[in-house]
Amino acid sequence: YLMFILFIGWGIYFVWVLIRFRASANPRANYTGVTSHTSSYLEIAIAAIEAVLLIGFAIPAWANRVNEFPPEDESTVVHMIARQFEWHAHYPGADGRFGRRDLSHITPTNVVGLDRSDPAAADDVVSINRMNLPIDKPAILYLSTQDVIHSLGIAEMRVKQDAIPGMEIPMWFIPTRAGDYQINCSQLCGLGHYRMKAEVTIQTQAEFDAWLAEELALSQ
């Protein structure tokens, strides 16, 4: 609200300047210029007020928005693993637990290194270049990468986050409109960067559950 008030104030001032100093009201140029320092003092005061609004209000408000994650038991939790030049979405099964992943288990058919001997991994689902999410339900993504820096961006969801080697970085959002969208990698990650894309499908909870069950059956 404070930023909106500031925007309206500057807009009114801008219109006043256009009217006050229009050519018809000032037919002859004034070569003397401003002789008072009042305008300088006003500029300093306005800059200070804007700095207080930005640092004291806007930045903390945004930090609270992005750092306060919804409860995981009320959200769809997905581990997103990036690698040149693919996105892999790892879902927990009905038990809600993620199976163990380890680099030693990586094979051409198990690129995320899921340890199928782990009981928690028995009902896990891994999809390549596809992520499905239920509508109107918070989605928490944990980003990681197996090689270089990547960046997951979904323009329609207003989200973007880097995936950095050696780190697992969380992000969250609430999809509110059903449909198909695209994930793009926003970091130049190699010669195949242009094709590092994935599809995001936002659907009803029932459709999501059916898709997850179908993917699990295909992986058995």
| CATH number of the domain bearing residue 184 | 2.60.40.420
pLDDT at 31: 77
CA distance 131 to 159: 15
Look at residue 219 and tell me whether its pLDDT is greater than 90.
no
pLDDT digits (tens, 9 = 90+) for 108-152: 999 999 998 999 999 999 999 999 999 999 999 999 999 999 999
Co-location of 111 and 170 in the same domain: yes
Give me the domain span that covers residue 12. 2-24+39-67
Nearest Cα neighbor of 91 from 47, 54, 122, 49 is 122
Co-location of 101 and 197 in the same domain: yes
pLDDT at 48: 92
Q: What percent of the chain has pLDDT over 90?
A: 67
pLDDT digits (tens, 9 = 90+) for 16-47: 989 988 888 777 777 777 778 888 888 899 89
The count of domains in the chain is: 2
Co-location of 174 and 205 in the same domain: yes
Higher pLDDT, residue 172 or 62: 172
pLDDT at 106: 93
Residue 130, in any domain of the structure? yes
pTM, full prediction: 0.75
Co-location of 114 and 213 in the same domain: yes
Co-location of 149 and 186 in the same domain: yes
Q: How many other CB atoms sit within 10 Å of the CB of residue 25?
A: 8
CA distance 218 to 201: 19
Co-location of 186 and 89 in the same domain: yes
Co-location of 157 and 177 in the same domain: yes
CA distance 101 to 109: 14
